[in-house]
Amino acid sequence: MYLYKFTGMQNVGGTWEETPLETGCSYSIADFERYNGEVTKALQKSLFIQPELLAGSDYSGGVLQKSNNKSFLEQFGDVEGVYELWGGMGTYGVAVRLDVYENNKEIKGTLDSLDDYPVIDEEAYSELEHEWDCEEMSDVVSNLCSNIDLGTYIPDYEDLLEDTEKIEQYAWDAVNDLNLEFLHENNSSYIDYRKVQPYVEDMLLINNCNIKKLPLLINRKWACSETEQMFKDKMSCKEALC
């Protein structure tokens, strides 16, 4: 466990003074320097730890670290000696004063338990993961609407793409029915829209293709057995009507 010392300074009336640390405030991670000296009881009140599983940036960490950071600060952000950290490139973290870590049983227990299981709050983890997935889905829908071309079967298909809520629902159905997974890393979620597109096209065709053009889809390679069966059911209804 690395130790750090706060070195933040501020200009007061032309004189540089040490920045006071105030409960509930956030500070630049650059103002904390690694400390490698001897640790005495007196020094514990001026040294800090920065738990790795509560830290990350735009290029490191992920939903685990971000959710832990949020959960920890929600529980202990108003405790003296606990400070939120920020930095460039989306850097985030937490500094806990060493004496607080050693003497606050709840804080120590929470941080030490991460060695056995790295998640502070399962619900917060799932909620953040879903939040990132929803943000990514907006980009997926945008890409789908830009790349889908069903003009051969549905002349006015572009009108269908204007209903982005319906396209998004089809996209979520594709994720679930095809067992697709989002990739979570750093501060975002990602899924390749091209894995979703065939299913969305299937649904648009099945629900909107003119009944006279259904035979054109007989040799189509369907995205999954579910959409293939939907097509067969629709063809059966067509034949029954005939």
Chain-wide mean pLDDT for the chain?
94
Check residue 241 and give its pLDDT: 52
pLDDT in tens, 45-77: 999 999 999 999 999 999 999 999 999 999 999
At 185, is the pLDDT very low, low, confident or very high (cuts 50, 70, 90)? confident
86 forms bridges with which residues in the sheet? 28, 92
pLDDT in tens, 101-140: 999 999 999 999 999 999 999 999 999 999 999 999 999 9
Task: Read off the pTM.
Answer: 0.83
pLDDT above 90: residue 217: yes
At 238, is the pLDDT very low, low, confident or very high (cuts 50, 70, 90)? low
The candidate with the shortest Cα–Cα distance to 79, out of 93, 97, 55, 92, is 97
* Rounded average pLDDT over 24-36: 96
pLDDT above 60: residue 242: no
* Rounded average pLDDT over 161-179: 97
